[in-house]
Each structure stands twice: as structure tokens, then as C-alpha cells.
Amino acid sequence: MNEKIKCPKCEYENPINFTSCIKCNHRLKNAQYYTENYKDFYELFSPKNLDILNNTQLTDTAYDTIIYNIINIGEDYIKLLPDEASISNLFNITKPYVKIQYDNSKNFPAYLSYYSYNNILIKKTTHASLIPTAILHEFTHHLFNEIIKQSLMHLLNHEKNLLIESFAWYLTLENRYIELSGEFMAHKVQEHFLPDDFEGFTSVIKLLEDNPNLDEQKVKESLYFGNSIAKDIIYILEHFITPKASMYGNVFENQGIEYPIVDISNEEKISRLYSLITDAFNKIINDKVEMQAVLSQMNKNYIYLNC
Ligand SMILES: [Zn+2]
Ligand SMILES: [Zn+2]
């Protein structure tokens, strides 16, 4: 890790512990800034913004714009025709969005890879043949985070900042249902682009096994929601990646999931996304002291992993 923080004004790279820029004296928003300075937190999670959120609709036109904004992040940068999901192609495609790193640590020994604060970490022990499907999985987690961030930015007409990053991170891990949606969509994307490398909905099944008391109706709704967002993420990625045909002719979709996956309407998908965002926002407003600490810690992790 390179311990630098870029000055937003003059772009000079300062040491991470500096509170103002060596060159231009601009205030630097480093970890210390976010620990000591509550202003940004209270500015974002204000009753005024809650009011805006409650009175602004997430329309399907706005949602489409959000999806196109996310495609544009890549299209401005990637000058390649869509190609199959090889390691080199995926490293290229993901570059404008996330950082991919090989992970030597002992974190998550059972995983091939994991997603953490805009970083895709691939375990050093993961076999090369499994890396493309692992990247697709983690990149889907990132794109779901991006959809949440862009939706909140749109609803509040707010620039992206670290707190918005942390808000999305917090939301996607807030409870088991949203985790189920996230894991389902990540596996759907793998199944779509690399059907023969796909090894089933392992993290969905594990979550269900580890949490036997989840409400069945809510589980189903979470899977349907995950499925509907997966379609949008597939749409985004098809600008850059072509699905690989299965050697076995046809793909049996959703194998290992004990519920039939029902398609939900666009309105239902968007209204669910909107309630996830407003509910999480409300929760933060209602418990500001506790949540300020939670989000500050997340901000620190973002800075730590991305500087
Ligand atoms: Zn500066
Ligand atoms: Zn996952």
C-alpha cells in the first residue's frame, strides 16, 4: 500500500497523516479528518436531506441514467470491443472501477476472493483458471454498491464522497436479506458469462444454511430482487464482456436454489431499491452517535485500502 493522499485542489500526493496539503495548504480529508470532523456526516445525514429523500421519487428514467452513468465510467476509458472474460480482459475492464490486488493475508481462508471497499482481493492460493469467475463475482458486488451510491447521489443531488461510499457499503451488509440479494446477483453474473466455470450459488446456499430462521417470504423477495439487479449488471457488463457459450449446449439456470426465481417488474425493483436506501438513511439519522462511529470506521477502511 502506498501511504499517500492526493490533494483535491492541486493533486499533490501528500503523506497520509497530513491534515493539509504541503503545496497549497488545502484541507486534506484523510482518516484523521473523518475521525475528528463530524461536519460532513451531519451535513449528509441531515433532517433536510431525509426530507428530500422522502419526497423524491426514484423514477425509471433516473434509474436508466444511473445505469448509463456506470457504463460511461468504463466506456470513457476502455477502448476495446467486448471480449470473453479472460484474466487480462477483466483486469482491463475493471480498472476504471476498482483496484484488483492479490491477497497474501490469512483473511477468509475458505474464499477464492473477496470484495472490500472498492477493492477486489484475490487470494494468492486461487488457481489461475478460477480467477476470471472470481473477478466477475466480486465485480458484481462492486457494481451493486455503485448502483446504490449513484442512486443516493441522484436523489440528494449530491457529489460522491467517502460517506456515500461508506453508506453503500453499510447498506449492502446491513442484514442477511440484502446479503442474499448481493450473493445471488454475483452468482447470476458468473453463471451468465462463464457458465462452465460456474460452481453453483455457493454463498447463497451457505447464507441460507447458516441462517435457518430467516423469513421465507423475505428470502424469496431478496432473491427476486437480486435476480432483477443481476440483469442490469449483466446489461452493463455486456458492453465490455461477451458471454462464453457452454460446452454442454444449454445452461440449467439457478441450480441448487430451492425456490423458483420469479421475475419482478421494473417498478418493483426500483421501489425496493428506493426503500432500501431510505430505510438505511433513516436508521442512520435515528442513531447518529452510534452510526457516526460506524461510518467513520468504514471511511478509514476506504482510505486505508485505496491510498
Ligand atoms: Zn494541494
Ligand atoms: Zn460474494
Ligand with minimal distance to 20 CA: 1
Is the complex ipTM higher than 0.85? no
| The residue to which cell 460452481 is assigned | 199
Ligand with minimal distance to 14 CA: 1
Ligand with minimal distance to 181 CA: 2
256 — alpha (psi -120 to 50), left (phi > 0) or beta?
A: left
Residue type, 239: H
Give the pLDDT confidence of 67-116 residue by residue, as tens digits: 999 999 988 877 777 888 899 999 999 999 999 999 988 888 888 999 99
CA distance 1 to 302: 12
Q: 27 C-alpha vs ligand 1 centroid, how far in Å?
A: 8
Q: 7 C-alpha vs ligand 2 centroid, how far in Å?
A: 33
Ligand with minimal distance to 12 CA: 1
pLDDT averaged over every residue in the chain:
90
Pull the grid cell for residue 66.
444511473
Give the pLDDT confidence of 35-63 residue by residue, as tens digits: 666 788 999 999 999 999 999 999 999 99
CA distance 147 to 162: 15
Q: 205 C-alpha vs ligand 2 centroid, how far in Å?
A: 11
CA distance 220 to 117: 27
**Closest by CA position to 263, among listed 231, 234, 218:** 231
109 in any annotated domain? no
Do 61 and 168 lie in one domain? The reply is yes
Do 88 and 191 lie in one domain? The reply is yes
Pull the grid cell for residue 142.
462492486
CA distance 41 to 59: 27
| The residue to which cell 485500502 is assigned | 305
Q: 6 C-alpha vs ligand 1 centroid, how far in Å?
A: 8
Ligand with minimal distance to 138 CA: 2
Ligand with minimal distance to 22 CA: 1
The domain in which residue 5 lies consists of 1-37
Do 20 and 136 lie in one domain? The reply is no
Do 181 and 218 lie in one domain? The reply is yes
Domain count, the chain: 2
